[in-house]
């Protein structure tokens, strides 16, 4: 099978998988949790259960894919995408729902970094562009899921949402079986099963570490913004439909811009797009709460989505470039783990700050943390780039 065909299948699988994952929680999960008697605090814990699984699983999944190949690990995640939705029909208590969410979280925790490593395997050149197109395909699935899920809830029972979820998971699993092993892909090198992918791949390369931290800082801001921007907007007179528009604009910008930013990073290098993207993300985070105007909030949302796209289009490709072929999965798995930690801490940290300070101060602190990550990333990445240029050639 040609690389292009394998890549197109992987994009379709990615869209279906993320659609399946997203429709399982947005907007049906809190409704289901409330219907079985979960309190507000318990609903928050249930929502976080799948993220905890991601933090614990992404790195081992990437490591396993380095040792055993991408395809069998992806198929294992596909099995979870298909079977987890069926378990929601057996739920009667909050703790059962939390356990199912933890199991369901295995799907995206395993799939995310391994699929990205697979894209990198298929793209020895134009890597940023290919990763951009793949990520946009997952964003389409993420954007369609709440629309379709909400429509199903409007006209029928919640159980039918999970039927749609299982159907998308099944189609993703079928697509995973159609994928070739990288060693069977035209031009790809064989991946020996005995190859190891130790954590030293990550910890011996400071550029991988700071790139992962930069990605975590971005998603710390994203998690905080996702949780508290609606509350701020409502507090200044923006209605619920307009709040939805703020997020819709972001998703649209990220979907359209990600491939273009990937092409830019292929042509101009990874370092500067990451620096610029982080600066735009941090600055726009602080600007969100400096206005009460819907028009200006929409402008800032566009900037925020653009900042995420500019930097994230380059971060995954940069880590894949830095890691050796047999350590690519563990490096991307590490970055995925740190990103999940950042996204989980974002709402917790901003919530704690807002207990003592204004929205303006809280959003500014989160933006400042992103800007601090720019300094750390630039110091290490630019120094490493300079060292490579000055190194004697053989």
Per-residue pLDDT, 41? 73
Question: Is the bond preceding 169 in cis, omega lying within 30 degrees of 0?
Answer: no
CB-CB contact of 313 with 211 (8 Å): no
**Rounded Cα–Cα distance for residues 234 and 297 (Å):** 12
Mean pLDDT of successive 10-residue stretches along the chain, which has 394 residues? 91 97 89 87 81 90 92 97 97 95 95 95 91 94 89 92 97 96 48 52 87 95 88 88 85 91 92 96 96 94 94 93 88 92 89 92 96 95 70 50
**CA distance readout (Å), 357 to 37, 181, 230, 360, 364:** 33, 53, 17, 8, 11
**Rounded Cα–Cα distance for residues 277 and 280 (Å):** 5
Tokens of residue 193, six digits: 């099963």
CB-CB contact of 67 with 197 (8 Å): yes
Which among 334, 366, 125 has a CA at the least distance from the CA of 210?
Answer: 334
Tokens of residue 147, six digits: 């629309």
pLDDT in tens, 280-291: 999 999 999 999
CB-CB contact of 72 with 136 (8 Å): no
**Rounded Cα–Cα distance for residues 16 and 171 (Å):** 7
Question: What CATH number was assigned to the domain covering residues 3-184?
Answer: 1.20.1250.20
Domain boundaries, the chain: 3-184, 200-390
CB-CB contact of 332 with 116 (8 Å): yes
**Rounded Cα–Cα distance for residues 16 and 9 (Å):** 11
Give yes or no on whether 3-184 and 200-390 have one common fold: yes
pLDDT in tens, 211-223: 999 999 999 999 8
**Rounded Cα–Cα distance for residues 302 and 252 (Å):** 9
3-state SS string for the chain: CCHHHHHHHHHHHHHHHHHHHHHCCCCHHHHHHHHCCCCHHHHHHHHHHHHHHHHHHHHHHHHHHHHHCHHHHHHHHHHHHHHHHHHHHHCCCHHHHHHHHHHHHHHHHHHHHHHHHHHHHHCCCCHHHHHHHHHHHHHHHHHHHHHHHHHHHHHCCCHHHHHHHHHHHHHHHHHHHHCCCHHHCCCCCCCCCCCCCCCHHHHCCHHHHHHHHHHHHHHHHHHHHHHHHHHHHHHCCCCHHHHHHHHHHHHHHHHHHHHHHHHHHHHHCCHHHHHHHHHHHHHHHHHHHHCCCHHHHHHHHHHHHHHHHHHHHHHHHHHHHHCCHHHHHHHHHHHHHHHHHHHHHHHHHHHHHHCCCCHHHHHHHHHHHHHHHHHHHHHHHHHHHHHHHHCCCC
- 27 alpha-carbon distance from chain centroid: 19
> How many Cα atoms are found within 13 Å in the side-chain-facing hemisphere of 216?
24
- In CATH terms, the fold of domain 200-390 is Growth Hormone; Chain: A; (1.20.1250)
Tokens of residue 297, six digits: 């909030």
């Amino acid at each position: 099978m040609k690389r292009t065909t394998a890549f197109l299948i992987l994009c379709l699988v990615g869209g279906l998988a993320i659609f399946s994952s997203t429709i399982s929680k947005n907007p049906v999960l809190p409704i289901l949790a409330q219907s079985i008697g979960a309190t507000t605090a318990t609903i928050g814990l249930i929502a976080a259960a799948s993220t905890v699984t991601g933090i614990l699983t992404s790195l081992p999944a990437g490591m396993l894919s380095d040792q055993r190949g991408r395809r069998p690990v992806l198929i294992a995640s596909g099995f979870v995408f298909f079977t987890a939705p069926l378990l929601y029909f057996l739920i009667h208590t909050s703790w059962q729902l939390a356990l199912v969410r933890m199991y369901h979280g295995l799907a995206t925790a395993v799939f995310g970094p391994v699929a990205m490593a697979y894209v990198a395997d298929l793209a020895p050149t134009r890597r940023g562009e290919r990763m951009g197109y793949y990520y946009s395909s997952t964003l389409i699935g993420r954007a369609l899921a709440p629309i379709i899920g909400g429509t199903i809830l409007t006209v029928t029972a919640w159980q039918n949402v999970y039927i749609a979820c299982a159907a998308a998971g099944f189609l993703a699993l079928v697509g995973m079986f159609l994928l070739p092993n990288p060693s069977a892909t035209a031009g790809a090198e064989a991946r020996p099963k005995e190859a190891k992918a130790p954590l030293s791949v990550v910890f011996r390369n400071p550029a991988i570490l700071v790139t992962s931290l930069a990605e975590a800082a971005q998603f710390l801001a994203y998690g905080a913004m996702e949780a508290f921007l609606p509350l701020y907007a409502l507090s200044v007179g923006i209605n619920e439909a307009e709040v939805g528009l703020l997020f819709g604009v972001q998703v649209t910008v990220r979907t359209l811009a990600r491939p273009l930013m990937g092409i830019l990073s292929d042509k101009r290098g990874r370092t500067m797009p990451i620096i610029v993207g982080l600066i735009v993300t941090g600055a726009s985070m602080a600007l969100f709460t400096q206005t009460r105007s819907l028009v200006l909030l929409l402008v800032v949302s566009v900037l925020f989505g653009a900042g995420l796209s500019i930097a994230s289009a380059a971060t995954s490709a940069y880590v894949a470039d830095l890691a050796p072929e047999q350590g690519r999965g563990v490096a991307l798995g590490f970055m995925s783990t740190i990103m999940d930690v950042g996204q989980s801490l974002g709402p917790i940290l901003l919530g704690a700050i807002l207990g003592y300070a204004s929205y303006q101060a809280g959003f500014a602190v989160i933006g400042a943390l992103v800007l601090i990550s720019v300094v750390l990333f630039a110091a290490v990445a630019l120094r490493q780039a300079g060292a490579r240029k000055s190194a004697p050639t053989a």
